[in-house]
């Protein structure tokens, strides 16, 4: 890897500006582009505000260069990461255009949440340098980056990308198959499916589900993963528990009718004031602040 690879970030929204911030703070020159002028113009201010709030080196923002011209943004880049809106044809078109302006060995990454990397990258001429990097929001507070290869991605591209993110202070992991939800969202939504089912079947209310998680195994999860936990208690005990519990756990292949009903009734969560529970503006603000405080403390504890 070159001493400090040049980075281009496509999309200056919630994820894009945060990803640019992480690389700039790690000493990389970063270009950032967006099709909406307001998003591009405010990107450096948002990055400065984040850096200030976190007590990080605010001068890092000087390494970020916004440009409205895609070709200008990616020309000379060693690494291009896309964080534009979650739209397959938009991402396909963007990468096709990017490929005309970069070297054949420039690594191309998509930060899609759920679209298969294979679908996004299939039309490229040089697919061995294309992969997924799934960051978590906010990018400067959540350490994980899932690095996803397709059947075409070269081991060198994966290795290089993992090293790039590790050197920038992230925790990259390798996802070896391009499956929906990668690893993090598969695990998260397996838990959420059962959480919804417990409420749907009247076993407890929504608040109880959240309390059980937060006051019990959620406390341990940050330091004890489920498979470490299985080894800790014994795989034999884990097997015995699975024999009793798994047959009773929700395993319907589609979304819960309860969740579908909430959406049909306009109970969309914070944005409408009610989802599984009712949320006043004040309750929403308190919960949002709590999450950020928790993530900041975890970051401080890590360093
Ligand atoms: N928000 C999250 O928690 C999260 C987490 C992981 C991954 N993602 C993924 O990251 C991507 C970006 O999500 P976000 O939350 O930052 O969205 P966002 O709406 O905040 O930002 C997307 C940005 O892309 C810009 N854009 C649209 N078309 C463009 C184009 N042709 N060229 C340049 N810029 C363009 C938009 O103007 C906008 O500023 C999505 O694929 C999303 O699924 C989001």
| Closest residue by CA, ligand 1 atom 8 | 113
Is 134 considered catalytic here?
A: yes
pTM to 2 decimal places: 0.96
Question: What is d(CA 52, CA 44) in angstroms, rounded to the nearest whole number?
Answer: 12
| CA 113 to ligand 1 center in whole angstroms | 10
Helix or strand or coil: residue 79?
A: strand
List the catalytic residue out of 185, 189, 194, 274.
185
d(CA 170, CA 51): 16
pLDDT of residue 1: 57
- Tell me how far the alpha carbon of residue 199 lies from the centroid of ligand 1, in angstroms: 32
Residues of the chain with pLDDT under 70: 1-2
Looking at residue 299, its pLDDT comes to 93
Residues in contact with 130: Cβ distance below 8 Å, sequence separation at least 6, in sequence order: 95, 107, 108, 109, 110, 117, 120, 121, 124, 150, 152, 153, 157
Q: What's the sign of the alpha-carbon dihedral 98, 99, 104, 108?
A: positive
| C-alpha to C-alpha distance for 112 and 84, rounded to whole angstroms | 8
Angle (CA) 108 59 135, round 5°: 35
Please tell me the predicted confidence (pLDDT) of residue 281. 98
**Ligand 1 neighbours (beta carbon < 6 A):** 10-16, 33-36, 39, 83-86, 90, 94, 111-113, 135-137
Q: Is 111 a catalytic residue?
A: no
pLDDT reported for residue 163: 98
Residue 256: what pLDDT? 97
Residues 6+ apart with CB under 8 A from 75: 101, 102
SS3 call for 129: helix
pLDDT score recorded for residue 235: 98
Question: Is position 101 annotated as part of the catalytic site?
Answer: no
């Amino acid at each position: 890897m070159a001493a400090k690879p040049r980075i281009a970030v496509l999309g200056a929204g919630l994820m894009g500006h945060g990803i640019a911030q992480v690389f700039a703070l790690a000493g990389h020159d970063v270009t950032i582009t967006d099709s909406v002028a307001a998003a591009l113009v405010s990107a450096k201010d948002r990055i400065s505000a984040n850096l200030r709030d976190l007590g990080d080196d605010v001068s890092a923002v000087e390494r970020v260069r916004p440009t409205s011209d895609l070709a200008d943004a990616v020309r000379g880049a060693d690494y291009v990461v896309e964080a534009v809106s979650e739209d397959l044809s938009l991402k396909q078109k963007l990468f096709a255009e990017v490929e005309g302006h970069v070297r054949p060995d420039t690594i191309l990454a998509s930060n899609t949440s759920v679209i298969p990397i294979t679908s996004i990258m299939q039309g490229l001429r040089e697919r061995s340098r294309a992969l997924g990097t799934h960051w978590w929001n906010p990018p400067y507070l959540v350490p994980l980056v899932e690095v996803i290869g397709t059947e075409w991605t070269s081991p060198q591209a994966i290795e290089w990308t993992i090293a790039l993110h590790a050197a920038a202070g992230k925790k990259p992991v390798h996802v070896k198959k391009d499956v929906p939800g990668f690893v993090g969202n598969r695990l998260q939504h397996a838990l959420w499916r059962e959480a919804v089912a417990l409420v749907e079947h009247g076993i407890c209310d929504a608040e109880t589900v959240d309390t059980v998680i937060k006051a019990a195994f959620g406390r341990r999860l940050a330091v004890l993963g489920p498979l470490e936990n299985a080894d800790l208690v014994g795989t034999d005990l884990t097997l015995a528990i699975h024999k009793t519990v798994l047959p009773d756990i929700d395993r319907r292949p589609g979304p819960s009718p309860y969740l579908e009903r909430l959406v049909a009734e306009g109970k969309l969560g914070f944005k409408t004031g009610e989802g599984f529970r009712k949320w006043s503006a004040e309750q929403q603000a308190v919960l949002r602040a709590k999450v950020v405080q928790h993530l900041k403390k975890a970051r401080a504890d890590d360093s």
